[in-house]
A and B are shown apart, each in its own frame.
Chain A
Amino acid sequence: AQSVAQPEDQVNVAEGNPLTVKCTYSVSGNPYLFWYVQYPNRGLQFLLKYITGDNLVKGSYGFEAEFNKSQTSFHLKKPSALVSDSALYFCAVRASGNTPLVFGKGTRLSVIA
């Protein structure tokens, strides 16, 4: 069965600094990896996904993520954080076919002005 680990409950970063939100995965076969963001009292919004090809994936709002097969990681990054990036971030993985998307427990990002 597939699973995702987000080792940090909370990440704090100063505005303008680079940010990283960590994610590692476990799946049989090829992983299909996703990042979602949740603002307070809102649904989950899709940010980006890795399917195949280039290990660096670019997504919405200036976010990008790096797929590392040897480390089974898919860390979310942004070169310069904004206060408006403060939210809950979820990593998710799907194995092959139509298996459900499995989410990590989430990481709360706080960007301080």
Chain B
Amino acid sequence: EPEVTQTPSHQVTQMGQEVILRCVPISNHLYFYWYRQILGQKVEFLVSFYNNEISEKSEIFDDQFSVERPDGSNFTLKIRSTKLEDSAMYFCASRPSGGPTGELFFGEGSRLTVL
């Protein structure tokens, strides 16, 4: 069964460093998302991406964050200068089509620890 894959599974970084989290969505999917979860708590929306541009972003997704789909398969989340409060589990998700009815398919997550 096709699945969303994420790398790395765990990254430890120093405060102020840049981090790139990578995702390979399911191949025929068109809509892509990043969510984050702090300490096994609420799952928070960060950004959605369609047709090579951001379609929606939350208040969390400030200028320190960026996304891109550089080669038609990878979907990356970059944090330019990490803060302690960026420590979280970051989930990538995708779905094949738009509209309100489709469920998201999630990856296993990338745990980011900022020291």
Does B56 count as interface, using CB distance less than 8 angstroms? yes
Tell me the smallest distance from the CB of A113 to a CB of chain B, in Å.
Answer: 23
* Chain B count of residues within 8 A CB distance of the other chain: 28
Instruction: Name which of A43, A46, A99, A106 has the most chain B CB atoms within 10 A of its CB.
Output: A43
Determine the distance from Cα of A103 to Cα of B55 in the docked complex, in whole angstroms: 19
Structural contact, B103 and A46, CB atoms closer than 8 A: yes
Residues of B close to A36: CB separation below 8 A: 106
Residues 78-113 of chain A, each 1 if its beta carbon lies under 8 Å from chain B, else 0: 000000000010100011111111111110000000
Chain A interfacial positions (CB closer than 8 Å to B): 30, 32, 34, 36, 42-46, 49, 51, 88, 90, 94-106
21 A-B residue pairs with Cβ-Cβ distance under 8 Å, sorted by A, are A30-B100, A32-B100, A42-B108, A43-B4, A43-B106, A44-B93, A44-B104, A46-B103, A46-B104, A46-B105, A97-B99, A98-B31, A98-B50, A98-B55, A98-B99, A100-B58, A101-B33, A103-B35, A103-B44, A103-B45, A106-B43
